[in-house]
Amino acid sequence: MTFNCRIIVCLILMPLLAGLALPTAAATPVLRVLAWPGYVEPEVIEEFQKRHKVSVEVTVVDNDDTLLEKMRIGAGSGSGNFDLVAANTAEISRYAGAGWLQPIALNDIPARAGQAPRFLDYAGLPGLMQGGRVYGIPFTYAEMGLIYDRKAFVQPPDSIAVLWDERYRKKVLAFNGSSHNFSLAALRLGRPSPFNLAERDWPLAVDQLIALRRNVLVFYTQPEESADLFIRHKAVLMYANYGRQQLKLLTDRHADVGYVIPAEGALAWLDCWAITRGAGNVRLAHAFIDHMLGATASRLLESRQGLSSTKKAISMPAGKERQLHWLMPVENAEERTRLWQRILSGDTRNRVLQP
Amino acid sequence: MNAPTANPVPPLPFRPLAHRLALALALLAVFTASLTGYFLYQDGRQALITTSEYQLTTATRLLGSRLAATLDDAQRDIHLLAGHPDSASALQGDRESRQRAETLFARFIENRRGYFQIRLISAAAGQEIVRVDRNHGLPVIVGGDDRQEKGHYPYVFETLSLPAGGLYLSPAVINHERGAHDAEEKPSAQLAIQINRADGPALGVLVINLDLRGTLNLLTSDLPPDTDIYLTNAEGDFLIHPDAEQAFAFDRGRRVQMQTAFPETRKLLDESYTGSLVFQTDTVHQAHAGDATDHLASFARIDTAPEIWQGTGQHYGVRFFIGLAQAMTGIEEQSRNMAENVAIKSLVSGLIAVLLAVLFSRAITAPLQRIAAAMSHIGKPDATLLPTGRNDEIGMLARRFSAMQQQIGEQLETLEMQRQALDHEAQHDWLTGIANRRNFISFLPQALARTSRRQSGLTLFFIDLDGFKEINDQHGHAAGDAVLVEVARRLLASVRTGDFVARPGGDEFVIVCEDLRTPAEAVHVAEKIMQKVAEPLVVGDTRLTVGASIGIARFPEDGTDADHLTSAADRAMYAAKAQGRGAFCVATDLVADAMPPAQTANNGNKEA
């Protein structure tokens, strides 16, 4: 699973650390939060601390493995090292299954009322519900849409098939990622689940990806790299693995580009807030989630990080919402990697499909 | 008595000046030796470090230049290969040209150990047309299905986007391209050039895949084995690092950069900073081995190949940073050896200095001790010789002391003479020069004791002059004094040498004769005295006569101690006086006859 969080320097955000040193600090309850870079901005913490007369300690992690390790240690210590954790749906599912989380009292989070309907349909989101109880509250997400040059397209492209369109040969940028690219191929083949290729689908998917290889300029890796290539090589279309973050990078450089979710839908990841089993103050933890769904946190998430909040979209009417394929474990990650490496290296179909 | 010892001061323990002087000089000498040694060590160590820094900096620059030169060589090769007619023909589909190109490329792979691959890739389909790989070190011509489509790789599309003949160098990456033989999963960079048809359009690209580690290994084979080598790209990401985990970290989603690992290198990133950098660091191995050994590190920024386009940084020219680090253990060891040498030399020179200090202090204090010895023998015959011959402060002191010694000697002599005179005056009659009363009082008991020990006899004569008062009255005291002087002289003349003659006072005289055993002998002496005294004497032009009345007491018959004997003599003298002028009386007889004279003697005690 790819997270479109810029890998920035890991910080322990404790702006009120100085406050802890005050004599009254000993009596102040402390809320310990485990989150990704940019999720809990200093202004957000300050607001919460003022409102609830508490101290918030944020520990920042920048990859799933570290997150898992910290959760494991926290769970092992009995009382738990953290009260709250932000993680993607797959991780939430894993933590809940391990018994590290406690169910969320939805009524204690009134700010959910401002969320888009798709983020309130917990049963429709993968991994959030277990045994009829909700373990995660959606917080931020990114979908992998298409970025297009407005001058080259009179109408926004409506299907991912445009990536294969030979009219745009060498003007298309795609992402260098085995799992996502096979999911993309599955969408192109019209399969219901992009994460579950049937046996007979593999050669077809390989064909699609070889065709894609011949049509693209490059398979990029980093968002900055993609923006640079897009502009320098006057590309017209880009499969945006990093979503709106890439859109922001391009518009920051005055590129006249649009962003669209194609009819086939888009792959998307979703990060949620969860409360640990050992949380010290459950009421306060719910209040924190409620706060994170509020105006300040949502605004900063979008303006500063280029991430999407889960609030109701104002510009996009609910009826036109395109399907999002929330990332799930794929049927065979190793096979996807193996085949993709061959495709990327420029092998022919026969070569790629060799055992 | 005002005794000077009223406040007794305990004597201070003697601490010879020589010892203290020697100690002070020795300490000074050792201190000086140590300090000199320390500074020598410091300077030596710094010199070692400076030399090492210089060597390391030179090596770093040299390595950078070599790497740049290698890139120059690769440029020459790629121009040569791209300019070869077979390259263009092969791209246009000529089979024979392709085979010749393959042979040519294989030669290059064989001879250029820094190349992984040489390829011709068509512009239209990005298809590899000619490809020679290095496989287990040897060239292998890749044909058929094994040739791949590479159009989507930057080294193809970026090169094709350059002006005709443009050169492109890809960022250094870990080569993940499958089937690349020796290049697979190895640090590499692609140097590519556009090949054009004579009339303009691009036919394709010629790509040389550079083996970064192999090249660097070739270039660094002559460096000392314990040298750590660092190579980074223009952004400072490590490409070569002694800890493999730190190299190409960006390939694994992390960034490990020179400027973070070695903050000292930040200034190399500053465009205005030219030249290289050398610094000491303890972070070289910390990251992977927890080893905080001090290292000497040198980094240099190398800007080269200005005609090459690199996708990253979007400008022409190739930039990289190169660094070398050496553990300072070598320097430390040399410093340690040097420190040992210096310490031994300091110790030896210190010991010599201590010895000299002892000798020197002795030389200074020995004369002082002689002076001290001389002082303790002042006024004594065994006074030691002073070192007055020296022409220094000690000589001066000795001379002054010698003068003082002489002066004190003379004064002591005078004092002794004065004391003897005083003593004589105290014991003798000022007028006649014979013993006085005090002398007599102290002499008699001694003479009695002597006589008693010898079991011999002693006779005491008390003599009173007759007619003296008249002389005094008629002729004056001067005449009286002259009479007394003459009488004393006659008394001395009338007894034996060694007999005691004294004038207790007035006109009375006393004679003590030891060893007179019989009364007859005493009588004989008395008669002799009377006769002598009675002889006429001339004072001025007057003839005068005096007589002597003598009382005789004998020891032990008339008294066994001084008091009794004196009393007896006194009584006898009065008895004699009573008999008339010029008589003598023996005390023994007096006791036997009657008591009255004794009483008279008691009442008429006329002691002076």
* CA nearest to B148 within chain A: A346
pLDDT tens digit string along A84-98? 999 989 889 989 999
- To the nearest whole Å, the CA of B290 is away from the closest chain A CA by 22
Chosen for mutation from A169, A348, A349, A353 (greatest number of chain B CBs closer than 10 Å) is A348
Same domain, A61 and A22: yes
Same domain, A153 and A172: yes
Q: Which residue among B157, B176, B314 places its CB closest to the CB of A218? A: B157
Q: At B353, is the pLDDT very low, low, confident or very high (cuts 50, 70, 90)?
A: confident
Find chain B residues with C-beta within 8 A of A66's C-beta: none
Helix (H) or strand (E) holding A33: strand A30-35
Q: Which residue among A214, A218, A345 places its CB closest to the CB of B177? A: A345
Same domain, A42 and A104: yes
Cβ atoms of residues A35 and A82 within 8 Å = no
Find chain A residues with C-beta within 8 A of B149's C-beta: 213-214, 346, 348
- To the nearest whole Å, the CA of B148 is away from the closest chain A CA by 5
Same domain, A29 and A59: yes
Find chain B residues with C-beta within 8 A of A7's C-beta: 253-255
* CA nearest to B256 within chain A: A9
Find chain B residues with C-beta within 8 A of A232's C-beta: 314
Query: Is the confidence at residue A242, as pLDDT, over 50?
Result: yes
Bridge partners, residue B461, by sequence: B511, B552
Question: Any idea where the domains of chain B sit in the sequence?
Answer: 54-332, 377-424, 428-603
pLDDT tens digit string along B336-349? 888 888 888 888 88
- To the nearest whole Å, the CA of A87 is away from the closest chain B CA by 19
Cross-chain Cβ contact A217/B125 below 8 Å? no
Same domain, A64 and A88: yes
At A65, the amino acid letter reads D
The per-residue pLDDT of chain A, averaged, comes to 86
* Host domain of residue A82: 12-142+269-318
Cβ-Cβ contacts under 8 Å for A118 (sequence gap 6 or more): A124, A125, A321, A324
Q: What is the pLDDT of residue B283?
A: 67
Task: Count structural domains, chain A.
Answer: 2
At A191, the amino acid letter reads R
* CA nearest to B180 within chain A: A345
Token reading at B555: 């020891």
Closest-CA residue to B190 (of B115, B269, B296, B290): B115
Rounded (10°) angle between helices B393-427 and B329-376: 30
Q: What is the pLDDT of residue B136?
A: 94
Query: Is the confidence at residue B152, as pLDDT, over 80?
Result: yes
- To the nearest whole Å, the CA of A338 is away from the closest chain B CA by 10
- To the nearest whole Å, the CA of B315 is away from the closest chain A CA by 12
Find chain A residues with C-beta within 8 A of B153's C-beta: 218, 346
A5 assigned to some structural domain: no
Q: Which of A10-14, A207-211, B249-253 has the highest mean pLDDT?
A: A207-211
Find chain A residues with C-beta within 8 A of B150's C-beta: 346
A54 assigned to some structural domain: yes
pLDDT tens digit string along B67-88? 999 999 999 999 999 999 999 9
CATH code, domain carrying A16: 3.40.190.10
Same domain, A121 and A70: yes
Find chain B residues with C-beta within 8 A of A346's C-beta: 126, 128, 148-153, 177
Q: Which residue among B149, B253, B255 places its CB closest to the CB of A346? A: B149
Q: What is the pLDDT of residue A124?
A: 86
pLDDT tens digit string along B11-42? 677 777 778 888 888 888 888 888 888 888 88
Find chain B residues with C-beta within 8 A of A351's C-beta: 145-146
Cross-chain Cβ contact B176/A170 below 8 Å? no
Bridge partners, residue A216, by sequence: A172
The per-residue pLDDT of chain B, averaged, comes to 85
Token reading at A51: 């409102």
Closest-CA residue to A289 (of A20, A123, A107, A124): A107
Chosen for mutation from B119, B152, B155 (greatest number of chain A CBs closer than 10 Å) is B152
- To the nearest whole Å, the CA of B239 is away from the closest chain A CA by 18
Instruction: Collapse the DSSP code of A285 into the 3-class scheme (helix H, G, I; strand E, B; otherwise coil) and give the result.
Output: helix
Residue A221 has what DSSP assignment?
-
Those residues of chain A whose CB sits closer than 8 Å to some CB in chain B are: 7, 63, 170, 213-214, 216-219, 228, 232-233, 341-342, 344-348, 350-351
pLDDT tens digit string along A140-197? 988 899 999 999 999 999 999 999 999 999 999 999 988 899 999 999 999 988 999 9
Query: Is the confidence at residue B292, as pLDDT, over 90?
Result: no
- To the nearest whole Å, the CA of B153 is away from the closest chain A CA by 6
Question: For this structure, is B507 an active site residue?
Answer: yes
Cis ω before B556 (30° cut-off from 0): yes
Same domain, A255 and A289: no
Q: At B382, is the pLDDT very low, low, confident or very high (cuts 50, 70, 90)?
A: low
The more confident residue out of A321 and B56 is B56
Closest-CA residue to A7 (of A221, A229, A240): A221
* CA nearest to B178 within chain A: A345
Q: Which residue among B145, B253, B255 places its CB closest to the CB of A348? A: B145
The complex's ipTM works out to 0.78
Q: What is the pLDDT of residue B4?
A: 46
State the Cα–Cα distance between residues B501 and B511, nearest whole angstrom.
Answer: 5
Same domain, A211 and A332: yes
Q: What is the mean pLDDT of residues B100-112?
A: 95
Find chain A residues with C-beta within 8 A of B179's C-beta: 345, 347
> What is the per-residue burial (b if ≥16 Cβ within 10 Å, else e) of B157-181?
bbbbbbeeebbbbbbbbbbebbbbb
* CA nearest to A224 within chain B: B312
What residue ranges in B142-182 does DSSP mark as E strands?
Answer: 167-169, 173-174
Chosen for mutation from A66, A230, A347 (greatest number of chain B CBs closer than 10 Å) is A347
Cβ-Cβ contacts under 8 Å for B585 (sequence gap 6 or more): B550, B551, B552, B572, B573, B575, B576, B579, B597
Q: Which residue among A216, A341, A346 places its CB closest to the CB of B150? A: A346
Chosen for mutation from B155, B178, B190, B248 (greatest number of chain A CBs closer than 10 Å) is B178
Query: Is the confidence at residue B184, as pLDDT, over 90?
Result: yes
Q: What is the pLDDT of residue B306?
A: 85
Same domain, A188 and A220: yes
Cross-chain Cβ contact B157/A170 below 8 Å? yes
* CA nearest to B313 within chain A: A228
State the Cα–Cα distance between residues A264 and A208, nearest whole angstrom.
Answer: 16
Same domain, A340 and A200: yes
Correct CATH for B54-332 of 3.90.180.10, 3.90.70.10, 3.30.450.20, 3.30.1370.160: 3.30.450.20
Q: What is the pLDDT of residue B30?
A: 81
Same domain, A135 and A170: no
Catalytic residue among B133, B237, B507, B558: B507
What percent of chain B has pLDDT above 90? 34
A6 assigned to some structural domain: no
Q: What is the pLDDT of residue B386?
A: 76
Q: Looking at the domain B428-603, which fold is it?
A: Alpha-Beta Plaits (3.30.70)
Q: What is the pLDDT of residue B110?
A: 94
Same domain, A177 and A219: yes
**Cβ pairs bridging A and B (under 8 Å):** 55
> What is the per-residue burial (b if ≥16 Cβ within 10 Å, else e) of A43-59?
ebbebbbeebebbbbbb
Q: At B106, is the pLDDT very low, low, confident or very high (cuts 50, 70, 90)?
A: very high
Bridge partners, residue B227, by sequence: B326
Query: Is the confidence at residue B596, as pLDDT, over 80?
Result: no
Q: What is the pLDDT of residue B600?
A: 35
The more confident residue out of B416 and A319 is B416
A1 assigned to some structural domain: no
Instruction: Collapse the DSSP code of A63 into the 3-class scheme (helix H, G, I; strand E, B; otherwise coil) and give the result.
Output: coil
State the Cα–Cα distance between residues B602 and B38, nearest whole angstrom.
Answer: 103
Interstrand relation of A172-175 and A237-239 (parallel, antiparallel or unpaired): parallel
What percent of chain B has pLDDT above 70? 92
What percent of chain A has pLDDT above 90? 58
